[in-house]
Amino acid sequence: MANNSSSRPTLNRRQVAQALNIPPEMAARNGIPSRMAAEEVAAIDANPPAWLAQSRANSTGKRPVWVELRCYLCDFHEVARPKKWWPEFSFVICDFHGNSELPDAAPGWRRSEYDGVGSRFRGIVDSQDP
Ligand SMILES: [Zn+2]
């Protein structure tokens, strides 16, 4: 590692994984270091090694590797790995907001809540009883 590289923009492994649209475990398994220069990441993205090309070929049409969570109320956002148990949320809001800040559910619709979405969100699902 060159000592004079500290001024170049670098990404940590999670950010590299986001940029390449792969899980962090895959990045680690394939030798992505804990920090990488942004230009090296761009080079990998433009000219993927075999393991990345393979992963991209396999992931077509599957569930997304990363999703953007955006607070309906304050617009705070983060990029997170979607969990299998996440339904389609009607709203995503930060933990500390009250539900009274949200628009009411439509008449006859039921509102359910999911804690622990991303690092600081709650997911709200409005659904019609069958
Ligand atoms: Zn918020």
What pLDDT sits at residue 59? 77
Query: How many Å lie between the centroid of ligand 1 and the Cα of residue 102?
Result: 11
Instruction: List, for residues 82-105, the tens digit of each pLDDT value.
Output: 998 999 999 999 999 999 999 999
What pLDDT sits at residue 6? 55
Distance CA 94, CA 77 (A): 9
Judged against a pLDDT cut of 70, whether residue 1 lies above it is answered with no
Query: How many Å lie between the centroid of ligand 1 and the Cα of residue 128?
Result: 25
- Average pLDDT, integer, range 11-21: 94
pLDDT above 90: percentage of residues in the chain: 81
Query: How many Å lie between the centroid of ligand 1 and the Cα of residue 97?
Result: 6
Q: How far apart, in Å, are the Cα atoms of 126 and each of 69, 91, 100?
A: 17, 9, 14
Judged against a pLDDT cut of 60, whether residue 36 lies above it is answered with yes
Eight-class DSSP state of 84: T
What pLDDT sits at residue 43? 96
Distance CA 119, CA 106 (A): 28
Residues 14 and 81 sit within 8 Å (Cβ to Cβ): no
Q: What torsion, rounded to 10 degrees, do the Cα atoms 120, 125, 126, 129 define?
A: -150
Which one, of 98, 91, 96, 97, lies nearest residue 114 by Cα? 91
Query: How many Å lie between the centroid of ligand 1 and the Cα of residue 104?
Result: 17
- 34 Cβ neighbours under 8 A, 6+ residues apart: 12, 13
